[in-house]
Amino acid sequence: MKYISTRGNAPELSFEEAMLTGLARDGGLYVPETIPTMSTEQIADLAGKSYEDIAFEIMRPFVGQAFSDDEFRGIIARAYEGFRHDARAPLVQLAPNHFLLELFHGPTLAFKDFAMQLIGQLFQFSLARQNERVTIVGATSGDTGSAAIEAFRGLSNVDVFILFPHGRVSDIQRKQMTTPEDSNVHALAMDGDFDDCQAALKDMFNDFEFRDGVKLAGVNSINWARVLAQVVYYFSSAVSLGAPHRKVSFTVPTGNFGDIFAGYIAKKMGLPIEKLVIATNQNDILHRAMENGAYTKEGVTPSISPSMDIQVSSNFERALFDAYGRDGNAVAQLMDELKDGSFTISQGAMEVLRENFTSGRASEDETMQTISSEFANCGEVLCPHSAVGVKVANENLNEIPMITLATAHPAKFPDAVEQAVAHRPDLPPHMADMMDKPERVTRVPNDLGHLMALIKERIA
């Protein structure tokens, strides 16, 4: 299996190379050259299997020769053993035809653990075999950083630096990043918003001298291996509701478009998905783009669902690549135009996007009301991100079962949840003492030179 760049101008890589690299050298994102498909029988055979066995079946064709079957099974087993629910991704019912996929039973209580725990094990295996050491730098709106730190802390062949926007993550998210004591963990609080953090990260990747000098590796949602890990729960949940004999739809609270893009891959692989619904908060660039074809940056307005406070949605580039008939030059041109703040999606590409995706948005008030009403109606306490999803899903219900992805545990966002349901959600017992632990964090300016110097100094 070969991986190619969405901008058509970078070397083709194997799965392992694409995983260890992250961003392509032409600024693009790696995607598989072809998407392997599963027959109806193969999908039907997933019924009744464990999450780990389904993960093996779904991901195996994408991984190529990188690992033996036994090695890959071992990697998957280690990735998910720390989850606190046997099903890993359990479904609960909200209404007759509406289900919630709880993706928050991993070590940091957000869906990012599904991909990050796997990537941690994959990196460890590959780097140990090659006797290599890498520097992982990640930008986070909150949950990626904690998930990455949890997955990589204490590993001997990795330093992990996490850039987060100072003052714009929740107390719990910050504590999760700043309280681990491992010396290979470096939490950096940057003056700016998430898009500034993400831009600094991209600039580091585009500085080849720095990139090669520190052996930079990326684990942001641009990393293909992360998208791949997320494809698995689309299959496991759909099959438990009767796929492939019955269609399902999904609603996905979306920021960087990684999670919902995984759903699109599941559909391309043959999973009968009727609709993929993009749910945004008030930072709604994706919803606006789906409505009128104009992808236009506006400033980020901080919300109660901070992990979706994003205006440049990196993985959308992968969807555009397909919508433009896999024309890397066309994508490169759009991304160039975006430097000036916007681009217009061609009519042909919009048609392809609308065949696969619909969209909706939730305001802050609607999000709060959804947390209250779902608690009153069925006793489920939603985090604000999941509530954005449920609100938009409720507008798209029909005879086909709808699965809404619950992306974080409510206790990660206790202030909003407490306001909506009149009690404070408790952290699970294993995290109860985190709020009292001392923090270790470095405040940094939004200045590329400063950041790169700091990273070089820390790993020296």
- With beta carbons less than 8 A apart as the criterion, state whether 188 and 452 touch: no
Per CB under 6 A, 218 contacts ligand PLP:
no
3-class secondary structure, 30 = strand
Among 258, 263, 270, 414, binds ligand PLP (CB under 6 A): 258
Residue 112 lies near ligand PLP (rule: CB under 6 A): yes
Residue indicated by tokens 């053993």: 81
Is 194 a binding residue for ligand PLP by CB under 6 A? The answer is no
Site string for ligand PLP, 374-403 (x = CB under 6 A): -----------x------------------
Smaller CB distance to ligand PLP: residue 179 or 315? Answer: 315
Task: Give me 420's structure tokens.
Answer: 């909506």
Residues of 20-58 as b/e, b for ≥16 C-beta within 10 angstroms? bbbbbbbbbbbbbeebeebeeeebeebeeeebeebbbbb
Q: Per CB under 6 A, which of residues 274..313 are in contact with ligand PLP?
A: 307-308
* Dist CA 54 CA 100 (whole Å): 19
What is the H or E stretch that residue 351 is in? helix 347-356
- Residue 5 is a binding residue for ligand PLP (CB under 6 A): no
Stretch that binds ligand PLP, among 40-48, 125-133, 255-263, 287-295 (CB under 6 A): 255-263
- Considering the complex, what minimum distance in angstroms separates the CB of residue 258 from ligand PLP? 3
**Under DSSP, is residue 98 helix (H, G, I), strand (E, B) or coil?**
strand
Please identify, among the stretches 80-88, 235-243, 254-262, 268-276, the one whose residues bind ligand PLP according to the rule CB under 6 A. Answer: 254-262
Active site residues: 112
Q: In the complex with ligand PLP, which residue's Cβ is closer, 257 or 375? A: 257
Lookup result for tokens 């990626």? 144
408 lies in the binding site for ligand PLP (CB under 6 A): yes
CB of 395 to ligand PLP, least distance (A): 18
Sign of the CA dihedral running 195, 197, 198, 200: positive
Greatest pairwise CA separation for the chain in angstroms: 59
Tell me the per-residue interface mask from 124 to 153 with ligand PLP, x by CB under 6 A, - otherwise: -------------------x----------
How far is Cα 137 from Cα 146, in angstroms, rounded to an integer?
13
The binding site for ligand PLP (CB under 6 A) comprises 110, 112, 143, 221, 253-259, 307-308, 385, 407-408
